[in-house]
Amino acid sequence: MRIALLVPGLRRHDAVSNDCLHMAAVLRAQGHEVRVFTLSADGVDEAVGDPTELPGWLTSPRDVVIYHFCTGWDLAVDLLARVRAVRVVRYHNITPAGFFRGWSRGYEEACERGRKQIVRLARMRCELYLGCSPFNLEDFTACGVDASSCAVLPPFHECEALVAEIPDTSKLPDTGGAPLLLMVGRLAPNKGYLELVDALDACRVAVDDDAHLLVLGKLDPNLAAYGEAVHARVAELGLGRNVTFIDDARGPDLRAAFDAATALVMLSAHEGFCVPVIEAFALGTPVVAYASSAVPWTLGGAGLLWDERDPALIASSIARLHRDEPVRDALVDAGRARYRDVFAPDVLARDLAVVVERLS
């Protein structure tokens, strides 16, 4: 089968790029002819085609186009509207614009454009809508797409490469044995960083004055106002010595951070999947999370999940994990089992083969 993968851009260590590139490799290994079409490719080992060449590359109505939908992109929507092929919308989710209101008008407008294209793509009645989570598919079923035209396939990832990394602890804070809260993800309003700082403050009071928050994530200059608000909250609560930000983390740094953490604390209010959760599973780090969007499904009962972001509740969770080794070990075992059964590369490859068989 000839399969075209259409994605806005490719760059190293980006979640959508990882999914697209690993998907291409798996499909080739399964005997398909695959080509990736994108506007840009930065630091990736993949020969790519110009998206405008995609229609000419398709030779049969039984060929497949898989569009990795993660942002507003008029060209891709127009291509899907006119190609004679089996069309798959691989939906990674687009954050609702409201999360950026008051922080970045540019982000707000970009999300508004992207969310509007959900409606256009739903009206096309593509052959398959392939969500990274059941939560993602709700955007399409709400627009009238029948559930029979939907399927779930978790994203391909780099967890195995992360497990193989040799940890580098040189950038990590020395907590002196106090709890270490870890957050992995860009600094953005939907990620819940203000709530996370409040949770750290509660941990410092209720658990250990030296409790520490380690943040591995970059700040887009277009979200500078939000970054300033996070740093202002840290200063307001007198937490300067209790927080470490690393915005240039590499694989060895990330591996060391997961190894050292008491827990990955994910208080994000909107996630289409949440790759850091399965990284924690693979590396044996317990997870404490807020039950929003796709997070409950990704977590799958293998972590501590709460319906609110109450700082005292998060602090109590950290205290339990810090002091109760059997509870911690049980969560680690549950996370490893969920990773093995649902998110391991061989499981994803098998599930992708089932999806492709459905399209033939």
Whether 108 and 179 map to the same domain: the answer is: no
Q: What is the DSSP letter of 167?
A: P
Least confident segment among 41-45, 130-134, 172-176, 233-237: 41-45
Please report, rounded to a whole number, the percentage of residues in the chain having pLDDT higher than 90: 98
Structure-token pair, residue 100: 């950026």
Q: Which residue has the tokens 């459905």?
A: 358
Please report, rounded to a whole number, the percentage of residues in the chain having pLDDT higher than 70: 100
- Which of 156, 190, 220 is a domain's end point? 156
Nearest CA to 355 out of 194, 191, 156, 196 is that of 156
Structurally, how many domains does the chain consist of? 2
Q: Is residue 358 part of a domain?
A: no
Q: Is residue 132 part of a domain?
A: yes
Question: Strand 150-152 and strand 180-184: pairing?
Answer: unpaired
CA 191 to chain centre: 11
Q: Is the pLDDT score of 112 beyond 90? A: yes
Whether 102 and 225 map to the same domain: the answer is: no
Q: Is residue 236 part of a domain?
A: yes
Whether 75 and 173 map to the same domain: the answer is: no
How much is the pLDDT for 346?
98
Nearest CA to 155 out of 64, 93, 242 is that of 93
Q: Tally the residues of the chain.
A: 360
Give the C-alpha distances (Å, rounded to integers) separating 325 from 287, 288, 319, 332.
Answer: 14, 15, 11, 10
Q: Is residue 55 part of a domain?
A: yes
With a CB cutoff of 8 Å and minimum separation 6, the contacts of 36 are: 4, 5, 7, 10, 20, 21, 24, 46, 47, 48, 49
Whether 117 and 17 map to the same domain: the answer is: yes
Whether 148 and 20 map to the same domain: the answer is: yes
How much is the pLDDT for 282?
98
pLDDT digits (tens, 9 = 90+) for 234-270: 999 999 999 999 999 999 999 999 999 999 999 999 9
Residue 169, helix vs strand vs coil? coil
Structure-token pair, residue 123: 């009206």
CATH code of residue 283 = 3.40.50.2000
Whether 219 and 282 map to the same domain: the answer is: yes
Q: Is residue 349 part of a domain?
A: no
Band of the pLDDT at 9, cuts 50, 70, 90? very high
How much is the pLDDT for 360?
86
pLDDT digits (tens, 9 = 90+) for 194-226: 999 999 999 999 999 999 999 999 999 999 999
Whether 120 and 260 map to the same domain: the answer is: no
Q: Is residue 355 part of a domain?
A: no
Whether 177 and 78 map to the same domain: the answer is: no
Q: Is residue 348 part of a domain?
A: no
How much is the pLDDT for 254?
97
Measured from the Cβ of residue 244, the count of other Cβ atoms closer than 10 Å reads 16
d(CA 42, CA 23): 18
Whether 313 and 238 map to the same domain: the answer is: yes
> Is 230 exposed, middle or buried (CB count within 10 Å of its CB: 0-12, 13-18, 19+)?
buried
How much is the pLDDT for 167?
98
- Which of 139, 156, 173 is a domain's end point? 156
End-to-end CA distance of the chain: 8
Q: Is the pLDDT score of 43 beyond 90? A: no
Amino acid making up residue 243: V
CA 14 to chain centre: 9
Q: Is the pLDDT score of 13 beyond 90? A: no
Whether 168 and 146 map to the same domain: the answer is: no
Whether 110 and 183 map to the same domain: the answer is: no
Q: To the nearest whole number, what is the mean pLDDT of the chain?
A: 97
d(CA 190, CA 17): 21
Give the C-alpha distances (Å, rounded to integers) separating 92 from 84, 89, 241, 283.
Answer: 24, 9, 36, 24
With a CB cutoff of 8 Å and minimum separation 6, the contacts of 58 are: 2, 4, 65, 83, 84, 85
pLDDT digits (tens, 9 = 90+) for 74-94: 999 999 999 999 999 999 999
pLDDT digits (tens, 9 = 90+) for 276-330: 999 999 999 999 999 999 999 999 999 999 999 999 999 999 999 999 999 999 9
Whether 239 and 95 map to the same domain: the answer is: no
How much is the pLDDT for 332?
98
d(CA 318, CA 175): 14
The mean pLDDT of 173-177, rounded to a whole number, is 95
HSE-up of residue 204 (Cα within 13 Å, Cβ side): 19
Q: Which residue has the tokens 């810090």?
A: 322
Domain span holding position 121: 2-156
Indicate yes or no: pTM above 0.95.
yes
The mean pLDDT of 28-42, rounded to a whole number, is 96
The neighbouring-strand residues paired with 290 are 306
- Which of 98, 132, 156 is a domain's end point? 156
Q: Is residue 129 part of a domain?
A: yes
